[in-house]
């Protein structure tokens, strides 16, 4: 996913995985594809990503996560939406059909609205768009330093 984003024109791609082998492969493939200057691959979970974004004061135009629905729920609960620009999108995949509605409900509570849903057999991918905050309200980025289970 990181290489695709870089090749499609992303200026900066942050790639995180808890598996050190996945990070090694990401870095090697980024070099092979001529996009290593765009991709910053780091071992870590959502907390590492949130720490980096908080430290840099960054927000993302696009966030992509392909993992179990339970982990996607934790990610939304940890505040993933706060790190997305107003009008930005979050693509979540790895969702079984019966997990879709609860995940959409959680996303709505975080200011995300569904823009698209794709299906392949029992699997679902959703594209969420972050609503703009109410006029006159400023946003700040903070991270509560909670730990996600990596098990």
- What CATH number should be reported for the domain holding residue 84? 3.40.50.150
122 shares its domain with 71: yes
Q: In this structure, is the dihedral angle defined by the CA atoms of residues 123, 15, 39 and 80, taken in order, positive or negative?
A: positive
Look up residue 6 and give its two tokens. 């870089």
70 shares its domain with 127: yes
pLDDT single digits (tens) 7-46: 999 889 999 999 999 999 999 999 999 999 999 999 988 8
pLDDT band at 97 (very low <50, low <70, confident <90, very high): very high
Which residues 6+ apart lie within 8 Å of 80 measured at CB?
46, 50, 63, 65, 90, 110
Question: What secondary structure, in 3-state letters, does 12-33 show?
Answer: CEEEEECCHHHHHHHHHHHHHC
pTM of full prediction above 0.85: no
Domain-located, residue 73: yes
Q: How far is CA 133 from CA 12, 85, 86, 144, in A?
A: 25, 10, 7, 21
- Give the domain range for residue 8: 1-44
pLDDT exceeds 70 at position 125: yes
For residue 145, the model assigns a pLDDT of 33
pLDDT band at 1 (very low <50, low <70, confident <90, very high): confident
Domain-located, residue 142: no
Look up residue 124 and give its two tokens. 């679902």
Tally of domains within the chain: 2
101 shares its domain with 68: yes
Domain-located, residue 146: no
């Amino acid at each position: 996913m990181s290489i695709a984003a870089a090749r499609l024109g992303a200026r900066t791609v942050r790639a995180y995985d808890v598996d050190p082998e996945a990070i090694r492969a990401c870095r090697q493939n980024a070099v092979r594809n001529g996009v290593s200057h765009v991709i910053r691959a780091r071992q870590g979970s959502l907390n590492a990503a949130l720490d980096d974004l908080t430290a840099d004061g960054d927000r993302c135009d696009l966030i992509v996560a392909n993992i179990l629905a339970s982990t996607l729920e934790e990610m939304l609960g940890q505040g993933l939406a706060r790190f997305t620009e107003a009008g930005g999108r979050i693509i979540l995949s790895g969702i079984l059909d019966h997990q879709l509605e609860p995940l959409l409900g959680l996303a709505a509570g975080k200011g995300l609205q569904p823009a698209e849903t794709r299906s392949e057999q029992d699997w679902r991918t959703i594209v969420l768009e972050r609503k703009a905050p109410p006029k006159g309200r400023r946003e700040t980025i903070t991270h509560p330093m909670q730990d996600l289970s990596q098990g």
